[in-house]
Amino acid sequence: MCRCVCGCIGGIGDRHERRTDDPLPEAIAAPDLVDDLAVGPVYKTEEVIHDAAFVQSGMLLNLKHSEVGERAVPGLPVSFSAIDLKYTPAPAMGENTDEVLRELLGYSDDRIASLRQANVLL
């Protein structure tokens, strides 16, 4: 299977570069490639939020960001019965700096303050 999929990657890339619309799945599924390969269009975020099937799926989320306001973003394409997902907007620049330095890198409060005083941190 890997040999088949890997063998058609170059052909997919070549075909995709020349296309700007949705017939790509039909082109990939051509008999000269792989019949068992699941395919579909690959959208950019701004494209997927306007796709009718995506919008109807309920995966479109509206999150309020502190700097840019409310934004429509795609959620996960799967759901899990035992997991309650908590979607949050991306942090603002520097919002989690102290937490990352302290909890992930082990920096002391004094070292963080020193870096901030030296204008190394926002």
Delimit the domains of the chain by residue range.
Answer: 1-42, 43-82, 91-122
The amino acid at 73: V
What pLDDT was estimated at residue 87? Answer: 87
| Rounded Cα gap, residues 119 and 122, in angstroms | 7
Spatial CB neighbours of 15, under 8 Å, sequence gap ≥ 6: 24, 27, 28
What pLDDT digit, counting tens, does each position of 30-42 carry? 555 556 666 667 7
Residue 5, pLDDT above cutoff 50:
no
Report pTM.
Answer: 0.48
Q: How far apart are the first and last CA of the chain?
A: 49
Of residues 7 and 63, the one with the higher pLDDT is 63
